[in-house]
Amino acid sequence: MENLWQQIDALRSEIGSFATTRADEVEAFRIKYLGTKGVVKQLMTAMKEVPVEKKKEAGQLLNDFKSFVTAHYEQLLTGIISDKDASTIDLSLPGQPFPIGSRHPVTLMKNRIISIFQRLGFAVAEGPEIEDDWHNFGALNLPAHHPARDMQDTFYIQQNPDWVLRTHTSSVQIREMEKGQLPIRMLMPGRVFRNETVSARSHCFFHQIEGLYIDENVSFADLKQTLYFFVKEMYGPNAQVRFRPSYFPFTEPSAEMDVSCFICAGKGCTVCKRSGWVEILGCGMVHPNVLSNCGIDPEKYSGFAFGMGVERPAMLKYGVNDLRLFSENDIRFLRQFAAAT
């Protein structure tokens, strides 16, 4: 055992003093000490001659020695790699540029819409994506068993059917009105969920921006002028607009607004269903029941609300003919918007 200790001690001194930056000498070092017929292997073989009562101590000694040799070899190897790199890299060359990222087209469109309405004094409010029945339905004049609930194609939370994935960001409007801080002029952007068939024109999740303006003496004329301003700023002065009567349980009167299709220039395509028009938002005067549900006096205050999907205007703005492209994360598609603002 003492002979083994002396032999290893001598080898440690020999190995510790060995230094080189040549690859062939480092490889020779590996073969000599760590190879299949190297010094470490020979010492391991000699373990059979160690008395039984000394084997544990000798095994620990050999394992420590092997770790020492391996560490020294890795240190030599690192030195060779660093030396090789230093000799082949031209430090005067310019660095490799990082690829330029880009915002998602839905984010670009959301920011664009918000910036237009902010010029009219609208602030931004956000709320939870998982909502209770009251904020998503009840307060919006949609009591239990109301047939209009079927229009929403709702995803219910299985563990608690009173909670849903919000079907619209109107729930944020309710939360803002409940605060009682009048007047209100707010935008509510966010992701919403509906159990719809995924196709080129619809998806089970999408993004909305809703607007709400409540004050004394607010009229439908205020609503129309606000939306005319938005369309002209978004699509240019030549954009054509039309309003159609519609029904929403939380507004009365209600309307839908169409804009002339920029994909086909009004000639008819799959996006506009061959009509030349694309419906981009619903709107109307806030129903008195909704105001009352939120503690606002409908005799004193009135207001308008509107809501639009973000993907549909983005399709018109960027000439995209399939809504599914926005959620497939195809890098080839997304790279096209690197220069967009």
In this prediction, residues 177-201 reach a mean pLDDT of 91
Give the span between the Cα atoms of 302 and 300, in whole angstroms.
Answer: 7
Kindly compute the dihedral angle of the four CA atoms of residues 180, 186, 192, 198, in this order, to the nearest 10 degrees: 150
Total domains, the chain: 2
Give the span between the Cα atoms of 171 and 21, in whole angstroms.
Answer: 69
State phi, psi for 30 to the nearest 5 degrees: -60, -45
Q: Is 319 exposed, middle or buried (0-12, 13-18, 19+ CB in 10 A)?
A: exposed
Q: Which residue has the higher pLDDT, 20 or 340?
A: 20
Contact between residue 281 and residue 257 where contact means Cβ atoms under 8 Å apart? yes
Give the span between the Cα atoms of 224 and 100, in whole angstroms.
Answer: 40
Task: Name residues whose C-beta falls within 8 Å of residue 43's C-beta, 6 or more positions apart in sequence.
Answer: 4, 7, 8, 62, 65
304: left (phi over 0), alpha (psi -120 to 50) or beta: beta
Do 136 and 73 lie in one domain? The reply is no
Do 111 and 79 lie in one domain? The reply is no
Can you name the residues that pair with 246 across neighbouring β-strands?
254
Residue 81 reports pLDDT greater than 60: no
Cα–Cα distances (Å) from 320 to 94, 114, 177, 200, in that order, read 38, 21, 36, 10
Do 320 and 252 lie in one domain? The reply is yes
Tell me which residue of 246, 279, 276 sits closest to 261, measured CA to CA.
Answer: 276
Do 213 and 76 lie in one domain? The reply is no
pLDDT digits (tens, 9 = 90+) for 48-58: 777 777 778 87
pLDDT band for position 206 (cuts 50, 70, 90): very high
Do 112 and 70 lie in one domain? The reply is no
| Domain of residue 248, CATH code | 3.30.930.10
Whether the full predicted model's pTM is greater than 0.85, yes or no, is no
Give the span between the Cα atoms of 99 and 235, in whole angstroms.
Answer: 31
Is residue 239 assigned to a domain?
A: yes
Q: Which residue has the higher pLDDT, 320 or 176?
A: 176
Residue 84 reports pLDDT greater than 50: no
Tell me which residue of 280, 279, 269 sits closest to 109, measured CA to CA.
Answer: 280
Is residue 169 assigned to a domain?
A: yes
Do 123 and 256 lie in one domain? The reply is yes
In this prediction, residues 249-260 reach a mean pLDDT of 92
Is residue 101 assigned to a domain?
A: no
Structural domain including 142 reads 106-337
Structure-token pair, residue 186: 């707010």
pLDDT digits (tens, 9 = 90+) for 260-275: 877 676 777 776 777 8
Residue 244 reports pLDDT greater than 80: yes
Is residue 245 assigned to a domain?
A: yes
Q: Which residue has the higher pLDDT, 157 or 246?
A: 246
Do 66 and 196 lie in one domain? The reply is no
Is residue 321 assigned to a domain?
A: yes
Tell me which residue of 112, 109, 126, 312 sits closest to 206, measured CA to CA.
Answer: 312
Q: Is 213 exposed, middle or buried (0-12, 13-18, 19+ CB in 10 A)?
A: buried
Helix (H, G, I), strand (E, B) or coil at 205: strand
DSSP 86-143: HHH--TTSPPPPPPP----HHHHHHHHHHHHHHTTT-EE----SEEEHHHHTGGGT--
Query: What is the spatial order of strands in the sheet that 184-193 belongs to?
Result: 123-124, 184-193, 205-215, 302-309, 277-286, 251-260, 241-248
Handedness of CA 324, 328, 331, 332 (dihedral sign): negative
Do 313 and 195 lie in one domain? The reply is yes
Helix (H, G, I), strand (E, B) or coil at 44: helix
Do 155 and 287 lie in one domain? The reply is yes
Do 81 and 124 lie in one domain? The reply is no
145: left (phi over 0), alpha (psi -120 to 50) or beta: left
Do 126 and 244 lie in one domain? The reply is yes
Count of Cβ atoms closer than 10 Å to residue 268 Cβ: 15
Do 83 and 114 lie in one domain? The reply is no
pLDDT digits (tens, 9 = 90+) for 22-36: 888 888 888 888 888
Structure-token pair, residue 262: 């920029």
Count of Cβ atoms closer than 10 Å to residue 306 Cβ: 23
Is residue 97 assigned to a domain?
A: no
State phi, psi for 327 to the nearest 5 degrees: -115, 5
